[in-house]
Amino acid sequence: MTPLQEEKVRNICADIGSFAVVSNDEAAEEVCLAKEALAAAIKNAGLPVHSYPERKKDFAEKWVAILPFETGASAVFSTSILIPKNKIETKEISYTEDDRYVSINISAGKEEISKNNVVFKTLPAKVDAVFSFLPPDQENKDGKLPEEVSKKIIVAETDNIINLSSGVGEETLSEKVFSLIGIIESSGDISIKKSPVPDLVFAALMIETDQFQKNISGKTLALASSLLKLGADKEKIIAALSDKDYPFARLLGRAMARSYPNESLKSVWTFISDQDLEKTGNKQSPALFDKIMKKIKNLLESRPFFILIWQSKQEVWAMVSVSSRPERRDGQNIEEKLTTLLSAKKENGNLISGPYKNFSEAELKIQSALKKVA
């Protein structure tokens, strides 16, 4: 976040402005937690905030012990009722309300009003600033939010879309979010009132660092210490993290057994078949393969490239993680070069390539691409 954006956030808070926090449907668990923490801090400051998308059921169930109730100020949606003047003569519009309903009363001539001759038009919620947790490949490049987000949210100024993501060698997402929370909290001290923020940021930090086994710096440890002093319940968070996910553990074991290093290509290769998923009771999803990739990278010796190849019905797909992104001699980034060579798309920081006919085709084509960049 730039100094200019920081100043804008301060001004919006001072003017009691509104915010939105957005991610994609496949956001990693730590991203969802960081987003929840930021939304909670904005609500604590008494400001309207809209969160998109809504919490997923399994995420809400896992973190129910630390998630705040979805209450407080929210963004305002505007709905217009379009009445055709050539058919209906509108004489008077008023409204009444009781404990259950708000009734809009329309006195009209010419023709009776029905759902068939009026149009309901709902406009996106307009906010003063958006905090975007979208991965780098989905961040706004032209001052616009992704189409599915812009149907729900519009921002007053495109410069007020603030991207929050964490790349290789950068500070963690948790650190970035906590710094931002410090700007939003007018008191500068979230400990003065009961708040879910310390728990949520600490949980995100534990996942990002694999329970403080990687991506650790002095600032990271200082943040962890500060969060504990602010009341983060470490035991409650560890209990949620150590939920007995036996299907995933079984799948991870099979994946580890089918992993091997390729020293010449500076890579680690992992294979998962349809049978592995079926026998371990797992359903295919982007989040599942993201989680497998993260675990393998944490458990095995670091390499510049990690490749996860899986079977999906009659097709085979591959996920390629580039752990370091040095520039090539020709000036092109290695990750960009691989994206082109594999006709891949980028999702949540990884390259997704396919479909291939079988494991052999996937392996040979990716090996050929790596030989040109490794």
Task: Identify the pLDDT of residue 72.
Answer: 47
Q: What is the pLDDT of residues 332-360, one digit of tens each?
A: 688 888 999 999 998 877 899 999 999 99
Candidates 2.40.50.140, 3.40.47.10, 3.10.310.30, 3.30.1490.150; CATH matching 246-371: 3.10.310.30
pLDDT surpasses 90 at 89: no
Per residue in 282-339, pLDDT (tens digit) is 998 888 998 899 889 888 888 899 999 999 888 999 999 997 555 554 556 888 889 9
Percent of the chain surpassing pLDDT 70: 90
Which residues make beta-bridge pairs with 309? 271, 318
Give per-residue pLDDT as tens, 21-43: 999 888 889 999 999 999 999 99
**In this predicted model, what pLDDT tens digit does every residue of 8-18 receive, in sequence order?**
899 999 888 99
> For the segment 214-265, what is each residue's pLDDT rounded down to a tens digit?
778 899 999 999 999 999 999 999 988 875 678 888 999 999 999 999 999 9
Q: How confident is the model at residue 152 (pLDDT cuts 50, 70, 90)?
A: confident
- Assign domain 3-75+126-240 one CATH number from 3.40.50.150, 3.30.200.20, 3.90.1640.10, 3.40.1480.10: 3.90.1640.10
pLDDT digits (tens, 9 = 90+) for 252-290: 999 999 999 999 999 999 999 999 999 999 998 888 998
What whole-number distance in Å separates Cα of residue 111 and Cα of residue 94?
A: 19
Structure tokens of 316?
């085979």
CA 235 to chain centre: 25
List Cβ neighbours of 323 (8 Å cut-off, separation of 6 or more).
168, 297, 302, 303, 304, 305, 306
Q: Where in the chain is the domain with CATH 3.90.1640.10?
A: 3-75+126-240
Residue type at position 184? I
Average pLDDT rounded to a whole number, residues 40-68: 90
Task: Give the residue range(s) of CATH 3.10.310.30 domains in the chain.
Answer: 246-371
Q: Output 229-233 pairs: Cβ under 8 A, ≥24 positions apart.
A: 229/191, 230/190, 230/191, 230/197, 230/198, 231/191, 231/195, 231/198, 231/199, 232/198, 232/199, 232/201, 232/202, 233/66, 233/199
Identify the pLDDT of residue 148. Answer: 83
pLDDT score for 293 = 92
